[in-house]
Amino acid sequence: MKRILFVLSLALICSVARMDAQLKINLDNLASKAKEVVDLSLDSAMLQTAGQFLSAEKSNEAKAKALISGLKGVYVKSYQFDKEGQYTLDDLKPIREQLQVPGWSRILNVVDNREGAEIYLKAEEGKTAGIAILAWEARELTIVQIIGPINLDQLSELGGRFGIPPVVVPDVKKKLTK
Amino acid sequence: MNLDDELRSALKRQEPPAGFTDRVTARARVKPAERRSTWQGKLGRLFSLRTLEWATACAVATVLLVGAGGEYRRRQEGERAKAQVVFALRMAGSRLSFAQRMVLELSSGRTAVPAKKPSAGEERQ
Amino acid sequence: METPEAFSQVLREHQRMVFSLAYHFLHDAALAEEVAQDVFLELNGKLEALESPAHIRHWLRRVTVHRSIDQSRRRKARPQVGLDEVQEPSSPPAVGDPLRDGLLRRLVAALPEKPRMVVVLRYQEDLDPAEIAEVLSMPVRTVKSHLQRSLDMLRRKMERMDGEARI
Q: Which of B94, B80, B76 is nearest to B44 (CA)?
A: B80
**Which residue in A40, A142, A162 is closest to B95 by CB distance?**
A142
Where b means 16+ CB within 10 Å and e means fewer, A96-130 reads eebbeeeebeebbebebeebbbbbbbbeeeeebbb
Residue B44: is its pLDDT beyond 90? no
Domain ranges for chain A, please list them: 25-177
Q: Which of C123, C143, C124, C142 is nearest to C132 (CA)?
A: C143
User: What is the model's pLDDT at position B102?
Assistant: 78
B11: closest CA of chain C, how far (Å)? 5
Longest alpha-carbon distance in chain C: 61
User: Looking at residue B117, what is its pLDDT?
Assistant: 32
Supply the pLDDT for residue C78.
Answer: 38
Provide the 3-class DSSP secondary structure of residue A128: strand
Q: What confidence score (pLDDT) does residue B110 get?
A: 47
Question: Which architecture, in CATH terms, is C1-80?
Answer: Orthogonal Bundle (1.10)
- The kind and range of the H/E element at A131 are strand A127-137
**CATH no. of C97-167:** 1.10.10.10
d(CA C67, CA C60): 10
Task: Please give the angle made by the CA atoms of A83, A86 and A88, to the nearest 5 degrees.
Answer: 135
Choose from A81, A112, A144 for mutation: most chain C CBs within 10 A.
A112
pLDDT at B125 over 50: no
pLDDT at B48: 44
Render pLDDT for B65-86 as a digit per residue (tens, 0 to 9). Answer: 555 667 777 777 788 888 788 7
**Residues of chain C under the 70 pLDDT cut:** 1-3, 75-98, 163-167
B8 within 8 A of C24, measured Cβ to Cβ = no
Residues 156-175 of A with CB under 8 A from B: 156, 158-159, 162-169, 171
Nearest to B86 among A152, A155, A162 (CB): A162
Confidence of residue A158 (pLDDT cuts 50, 70, 90): low
The answer to whether the beta carbons of residues C17 and C61 sit under 8 Å apart is yes
Return the domain boundaries, chain C: 1-80, 97-167
* Interface with B, mutate which of C7, C35, C87 (most B CBs under 10 A): C87
| B93 pLDDT higher than 50 | yes
Give the pLDDT score at B112. 34
Task: Decide if pLDDT at B104 tops 90.
Answer: no
User: Where residue B119 falls among pLDDT bands split at 50, 70, 90?
Assistant: very low
pTM: 0.49
In angstroms, the separation between the Cα of residue B63 and the nearest Cα of chain A is: 25
CB contact under 8 A, A168 and C89: yes
pLDDT, tens digit, for every residue of A14-31?
Answer: 444 443 478 888 888 888
CB within 8 Å: B84 and A165 = no
The confidence score (pLDDT) of residue A1 equals 65
Contacts of B105 in chain C (CB under 8 A): 78, 81, 87, 110
Supply the pLDDT for residue C134.
92
In this complex, do B99 and A117 lie within 8 Å of one another by their Cβ atoms? Answer: yes
Q: Give the nearest chain A residue to B39 (CA atoms).
A: A38
- Identify the residue with better confidence: A51 or B101: A51
Q: Name all chains with 3 or more CB-CB pairs below 8 Å to chain A.
A: B, C
Averaged pLDDT of chain A:
78
Locate the chain A residue with the closest alpha carbon to B20: A163
Mean pLDDT of A78-92: 88
* Residue C52, amino acid: S
Classify the complex by whether its ipTM is higher than 0.90, answering yes or no: no
Percent of chain B with pLDDT over 90: 6
Q: Would you state the pLDDT for residue C130?
A: 94
Residue C114's pLDDT is what?
A: 93
Task: Identify all chain C residues contacting B107, using CB atoms and an 8 Å cutoff.
Answer: 87
- Which phi-psi region, left, alpha or beta, contains residue B97 (left: φ > 0; alpha: ψ -120 to 50)? alpha
Three-class SS string for A79-121?
EECCCCCCCCHHHHHHHHHHCCCCCEEEEEEEEECCEEEEEEE
Using a CB-CB cut-off of 8 Å, the residues of chain A touching C23 are none
How far is the C-alpha of B56 from the C-alpha of B71, rounded, in Å?
17
Q: How far apart are CA A131 and CA A145, in angstroms?
A: 6
C99: phi > 0 → left, psi -120 to 50 → alpha, else beta; which?
Answer: alpha
**Which of A 115-154 lie inside 8 A of C, CB atoms?**
115, 137-139
Is the pLDDT assigned to residue B108 strictly greater than 80? no
State the CB neighbour count (10 A cutoff) for residue C66.
15
Measured CA to CA, the distance from residue B85 to residue A42 in angstroms comes to 7
What residues of chain B have any CB closer than 8 angstroms to a CB in chain A?
A: 17, 37-39, 41-42, 46, 75, 77-79, 81-82, 84-100, 102-103, 105-106
Residue partners of A159: CB distance under 8 A and separation at least 6: A165, A166, A167, A168, B93, B97
